[in-house]
A and B are shown apart, each in its own frame.
Chain A
Amino acid sequence: MQLDSSTLWLTMLGIGVGTFLMRFSFIWLFGQGEVRPAIQRVLRLVPASVLSALIMPSFVFSQQAAFSIGNYRMWAGVVAAVVAWRSRNVLLTIAAGMGTLWLCSFLWPV
């Protein structure tokens, strides 16, 4: 970890205060001014975009070369994606991904 302790606390405080202000925003302003449907539609796309942008590099760029057979995290990601798609279950997805990663590293240690 690169951040020192005080920077880390500041980071958490920044996230906490900013998040609180967003949670409080309309509840505070008595709900005058609803969010326009067009903006709501765009906001609804944010989680899909951010989540996908966050995870793709962690599956493709691990210690092993990207898109190589030895990149177990990528294979584990593929298995987990299928499980997530079929089951919509967080626990099962984690189990499938971690299981695949452990199994590959056990069978073919790098």
Chain B
Amino acid sequence: MLSHEKPGARISNTFQGVKQTVPRYERSNRMPNRKNAFLGGAKATVPILFGVIPFALIAGISAIGVGFTQLEALGMSYIVFAGAAQLAAVDLIGQHASMPVIVLTALIINLRFCMYSASLAPHFKGLPLYWRGPLAYLLTDQTFAVCITAYVAGRQSFKHWYYLGAASTMWVTWQAGTAAGVFLGTRIPKSWALDFAIPLTFLALLFTVLKDRPAIVAAVSAGALALAGHDLPYNLGLFMAAIGGVVAGSLAFRGGKNAA
């Protein structure tokens, strides 16, 4: 395997057309090129789509459910392209929250993208802005997971094409899923209570992030604080709970360290 210390340098070489050796991860005897990097990323994304499609459907259905027009519901998926933030925004809009509360909540949920951006940045060093901008727009949990795994496993060439293959597969699926949800949403009667699918989706996501004790402490504290602060104005209870959860979780980190 080639050197790991300057992943960015490899990308710029690729860019100037410098010849690459065939890396070991390429199980085929073809030279790596744009096309099979793109297809590789797309292929690695396909199994994940089974989890994404219901989520996209719910995003469309629930937006219609709280009173979005079809254009507004589709527009949100194009503009925001981030499932959890979209669902939270729809949920809050349904509860008549004010605009700053909705925007702030969605952005807090998306804070994690800064972390992903930092991990991916060295791999995109040297790419022109017209590449890095669209790649950033397409960043999601799933694409981050697929690509960083491939990069850490040793993919050296056409990283951006691999990413593009993964990300555009996600994008197309998300938009198609939302559109299908919008179509269904206008046909499903209110009595089915499909708005309830949002907290259920979040519940499933919550259990996937409860990987260690600090995360569990954060979730339990935040949940209790949200219930206690439910009657506060301007959704202050939500922010109080989110901040309280993070603080409690951080304390659990420290407590764990002292005990060890």
Contact = CB atoms under 8 A, between A and B. Distances in A.
Nearest to A13: B79
Given A19-B106, A84-B203, A52 B113 contact: no
Interface residues of B, number: 97
A54 interface: yes
Contacts of A20: 136-137
21 contacts: A3-B99, A12-B76, A18-B110, A19-B80, A22-B107, A25-B118, A43-B111, A44-B115, A45-B246, A46-B246, A49-B221, A50-B109, A51-B205, A51-B206, A52-B206, A52-B241, A54-B91, A54-B238, A90-B205, A94-B201, A97-B197
B26 interface: no
A57 B137 CA distance: 32
Interface of B is mostly: helix
Given A31-B124, A80-B203, 13 more contacts: A2-B93, A12-B75, A15-B106, A16-B80, A27-B135, A45-B249, A50-B88, A51-B205, A54-B105, A54-B199, A58-B196, A80-B204, A90-B51
User: Interface size for chain A: under 10, 10 to 19, 20 to 34, or 35 or more residues?
Assistant: 35 or more
A20 B121 CA distance: 15
- Of A14, A35, A55, A61, the most chain B CB neighbours within 10 A belong to A55
